């Protein structure tokens, strides 16, 4: 029996800060309104992807993970560990922070949330909120209570092509004009620290803040992870390793710029998550050939030990650690 890659139908999330770039840039058929997130490879119950092809066609990824564990190397983890998104920040996101596994399990009954971003597009002079200036937790609480946001929050300039690692406990926010591919733990827990006093058009109310939880989980003092980004040339193609163990205990993330035929294998897990963010080409796996192009997302399952990519492709790939 041949095994096919699992091509996925994304789930789209409306957000008050969202826009229409998921339609104009990636040609997705998205709902009306402000759509902020494409949950591209997701087994999270708040927005599961659906498998489009092969013997598992029509099945949600969370269902496949539980009922067909052989596709994922018979994992011991109860839930699919990663979530791949594309975010379109047409307005700035709230300033927020995510808990680690221990806090999230106790208080939210799900995984913590460490994440990272590959910047697909960024307007000129774009910046993130990343980290803070408080030296102690008491100082953090005092600055939050008095609304000293300009003194508390650190601004971090970004441009197209940048990669940013956001461990749990890091105060952060994507700002207006930035589009990213996000790789994260499969969690939907976000603690809002500051939301610019915005009013939700649908409810007429300000969105809830989570000040005590934010103070509880924020890393103090703020830290900047040291990444060892490595690039390797193979023929005409370029392979970049953004993050691997031990820097990240949760995932490995790579960029593959494919210009000629390249054979790929799993690295740190029995299955690989693949997102095509630009270009088009072919995927050859288990005796079959598939046309792939920008906006495609798929999983190479455990039964496929190696595969070949060809064409002109820009890919972000990841594996759980």
Catalytic residues: 192
Closest CA to 175 of 128, 207, 132, 130: 128
In this structure, are residues 26 and 293 in contact, taking their beta carbons and an 8 Å threshold?
A: no
SS3 at position 299 = strand
Q: How many CB atoms lie within 10 A of CB 250?
A: 24
90 contact partners, CB below 8 Å, separation of at least 6: 17, 18, 19, 20, 21, 34, 36, 176, 177
CA 197, 216, 167: angle at the middle one, nearest 5? 85
- Where helices occur in 172-307 by DSSP H, the ranges are 211-217
């Amino acid at each position: 029996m041949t095994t096919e890659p699992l091509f996925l139908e994304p789930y789209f999330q409306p957000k008050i800060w969202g826009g229409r770039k998921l339609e104009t840039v990636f040609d997705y058929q998205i709902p009306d309104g402000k759509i902020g997130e494409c949950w591209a490879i997701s087994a999270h119950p708040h927005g599961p992807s659906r498998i489009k092809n092969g013997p598992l066609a029509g099945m949600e990824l969370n269902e496949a993970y539980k009922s067909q564990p052989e596709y994922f190397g018979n994992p011991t983890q109860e839930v699919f560990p990663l979530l791949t998104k594309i975010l379109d920040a047409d307005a700035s996101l709230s300033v927020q922070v995510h808990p680690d596994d221990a806090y999230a399990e106790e208080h939210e009954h799900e995984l913590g949330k460490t994440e990272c971003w590959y910047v697909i597009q960024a307007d000129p002079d774009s910046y993130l909120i990343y980290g803070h200036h408080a030296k102690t937790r008491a100082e953090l609480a005092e600055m939050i209570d008095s609304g000293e946001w300009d003194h508390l929050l650190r601004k971090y300039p970004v441009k197209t092509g940048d990669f940013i690692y956001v461990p749990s406990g890091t105060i952060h926010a994507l700002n207006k004009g930035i589009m990213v591919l996000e790789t994260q733990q499969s969690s939907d827990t976000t603690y809002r620290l500051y939301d610019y006093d915005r009013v939700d058009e649908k409810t007429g109310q300000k969105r809830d803040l989570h000040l005590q939880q934010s103070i509880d989980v924020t890393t103090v003092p703020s830290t900047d992870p040291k990444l060892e980004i490595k690039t390797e040339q193979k023929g005409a193609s370029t392979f970049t390793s953004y993050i691997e163990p031990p820097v990240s205990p949760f995932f490995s993330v790579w960029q593959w710029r494919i210009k000629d035929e390249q054979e790929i294998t799993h690295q740190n897990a029995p299955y690989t998550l693949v997102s095509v963010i630009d270009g088009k080409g072919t995927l050859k796996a288990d005796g079959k050939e598939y046309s792939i192009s920008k906006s495609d997302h798929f999983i190479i399952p455990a039964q496929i030990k190696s595969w070949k990519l060809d064409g002109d492709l820009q890919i972000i790939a990841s594996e759980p650690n």
